[in-house]
Amino acid sequence: MSRITFVSRMTVKAGREAEFVGLCKELTAIVREKEPEILWFDFFKLREPNRYCVVESFAAEADEHHHMSTPHLAHYGPKIADCVEGTWVREYLDPFEV
């Protein structure tokens, strides 16, 4: 299967930014330690107030499914989502065909 890459943009609830950033840093460290097959997993602060995103890239769809079923994502995902206003918007990125 081909590579899966996406960016998910979100707005963090007012007053919850420090908590959100802390949780995201903890999750990122665990993902990098326990899932070396992930090509890219990073959170970013956007330039609009309270706006953030995460960029994720997997070599194959199976790697994304594995990531989504990990205990660490089950632990951190709901806590991170609780800091988010509404939901997030996921945009898939397709590589150029050369």
Instruction: Name the CATH architecture for the domain at 4-92.
Output: 2-Layer Sandwich (3.30)
Element (H, E) at 44: strand 38-45
Q: Measure the CA–CA gap between 76 and 52, rounded to whole angstroms.
A: 16
pTM for this model (two decimals): 0.92
pLDDT digits 0-9 by tens, 48-82: 999 999 999 999 999 999 999 999 999 999 999 99
Q: Which pLDDT score, from 0 to 100, does residue 25 have?
A: 98
pLDDT digits 0-9 by tens, 23-35: 999 999 999 999 9
> Which pair of tokens denotes residue 76?
């951190």
The helices-and-strands tally (H runs, E runs) of the chain is: 3, 4
Residue 97 has pLDDT above 80, yes or no: no
